[in-house]
Every structure is written in structure tokens, then in C-alpha cells.
């Protein structure tokens, strides 16, 4: 559905103002094109991650406006017969269009203000979170959900981007490049006290000197963790 307007929230501005000028322009045009014409932008890296966090709010606003339009059209059709009988069909239809425009404008003004899908804290321009998210979007899933990116950001902030990237490498080598598999690796390392890549290396060294050493079955670990999480 093409639109003539949309609400530009302050959270968008806060996310964009920290980007380099070129990236800021790319993300801004992507947001406008997607909000008005549903154009899917061709972005990568940090611009893609910023747009991905904003996109759920744009989708929510469009869906609300579309539902309101459909409801108003249905009401107009149901009252069409009465409008013809009193000879004021044209005036009623015109008034209905004006009311519809007011409804849509009101919907646009309120869209997303209390929506749980509003983007979380804007992605930093640099640092471990931005680095990990950018690498994940480039190598694992360019259309990742905001929820998974936010969760990844938590691991990156706690353990560093290098730890997250190693988890990506393991997933790619195992041909299981998906978020549940990667999350299982990161959760396991965090539970074992890993806070940086050096901690991981030390942990692996202990495994190599242990008689029970060997490769961890990350797929089984992911399934087990998901089962435990569902049982809680």
C-alpha cells in the first residue's frame, strides 16, 4: 500500500545522527522509500542494521493504517444504500473521504508510540555491538529480526565482538548458520565464564589437555537449551 505520509519518530533521528553522512543519507532514503512505497532497500553493514531495527515500527504503522482504511471502506459500503435514498450520496461520500483522511492521519500520528516493536536503544556507530551486528548481517542473515539482533548485541556487549565472530565461524563451518545454533554457542561460553576471546582460548586449551576433550555438539546443545528454556 502506497502512502502519502508517515510519522518520523525522534528515535529514528537519534539512531541516524551518529552515523557518517553517507550512511545517514542512505538509511534516511531507505526509511522514506520503505514507509511510503514499500521499497526494499539495498543496504549492508551498519546502515542495514539500523534500518532493520527501525523497520518493525514502519510495518506496524502501515498495518494499522491499512486496517483503518479497510474498516472505513466497509462502513461506507454498508451505508451506501441510505445515502442513495436521501439523495446525498455524493456529499456523504465526500464527507466519508474527509473522515477517512482524518482517521489515517490520527493513526499515523499515534503509530508505534506504545508498540513493543519500537526499536530498542539505537545501534552505536562503533564498538563491539555494532561490529558484531554488522558481521552477522553480512555473513549470517541480512534480514535478521530486531529481537535476534538485540539479543546478539547483549552477548557482544558482555563478551566482545571477537567472541561473537568466532561463534559465526563455527556455525558457518558446521553449515548451521542460524541464530538458535549461534545462540547456543554464545550462551554456553557465557555460562562457562568467557568474557573475551582470550578466555575462550584458555577454555579450549583446558579441553585439549583433558582426557574427555573433543568437539562440542552445538546442535544438540542448542536443542537442549531450547528445551530447558521452554520448560521454565
CB 155 within 8 A of CB 141: no
The residues, any chain, with a CB within 8 Å of residue 199's CB and separated by 6 or more, are 193
Distance CA 87, CA 89 (A): 6
Start-to-end Cα distance in the chain:
41
Q: What's residue 104's pLDDT?
A: 39
Q: Between 45-78 and 21-37, two packed helices, what is the crossing angle to 10 degrees? A: 20
Residue range 152-160: average pLDDT? 93
| Residue at grid coordinates 539512531 | 15
| Residue at grid coordinates 530498542 | 120
Distance CA 132, CA 174 (A): 19
Question: CA quadruple 201, 203, 206, 212: dihedral positive or negative?
Answer: negative
User: Length of the chain, please?
Assistant: 232
**Nearest alpha-carbon partner for 137 in 16, 43, 26:** 43
The 10s digit of each residue's pLDDT in 109-149 is 444 333 444 455 556 667 899 999 999 999 999 988 888 89
Question: How much of the chain, in percent, has pLDDT values that exceed 70?
Answer: 70
Q: What's residue 211's pLDDT?
A: 45
CB 136 within 8 A of CB 164: yes
> DSSP class of residue 117?
T
Domains of the chain, residue spans:
10-110, 128-231
Amino acid at each position: 500500500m502506497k502512502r502519502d505520509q508517515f510519522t518520523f519518530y525522534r528515535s529514528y533521528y537519534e539512531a541516524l545522527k551518529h552515523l557518517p553522512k553517507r550512511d545517514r543519507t542512505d538509511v534516511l532514503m531507505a526509511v522514506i522509500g520503505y514507509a511510503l512505497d514499500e521499497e526494499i532497500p539495498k543496504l549492508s553493514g551498519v546502515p542495514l542494521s539500523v534500518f532493520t531495527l527501525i523497520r518493525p515500527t514502519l510495518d506496524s504503522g502501515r498495518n494499522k493504517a491499512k486496517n483503518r482504511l479497510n474498516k472505513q471502506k466497509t462502513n461506507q459500503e454498508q451505508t451506501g444504500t441510505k445515502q442513495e435514498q436521501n439523495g446525498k450520496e455524493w456529499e456523504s461520500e465526500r464527507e466519508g473521504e474527509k473522515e477517512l483522511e482524518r482517521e489515517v492521519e490520527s493513526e499515523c500520528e499515534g503509530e508505534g508510540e506504545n508498540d513493543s516493536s519500537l526499536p530498542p536503544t539505537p545501534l552505536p556507530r562503533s564498538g563491539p555491538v555494532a561490529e558484531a551486528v554488522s558481521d552477522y548481517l553480512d555473513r549470517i542473515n541480512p534480514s535478521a529480526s530486531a529481537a535476534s539482533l538485540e539479543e546478539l548485541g547483549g552477548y557482544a556487549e558482555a563478551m566482545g565482538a571477537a567472541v561473537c565472530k568466532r561463534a559465526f565461524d563455527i556455525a558457518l563451518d558446521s553449515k548451521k548458520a542460524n541464530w538458535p545454533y549461534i545462540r547456543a554457542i554464545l550462551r554456553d561460553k557465557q555460562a562457562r565464564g568467557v568474557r573475551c576471546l582470550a578466555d575462550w582460548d584458555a577454555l579450549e586449551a583446558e579441553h585439549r589437555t583433558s582426557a574427555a576433550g573433543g568437539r562440542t555438539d552445538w546442535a544438540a546443545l542448542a536443542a537442549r537449551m531450547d528445551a530447558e528454556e521452554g520448560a521454565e
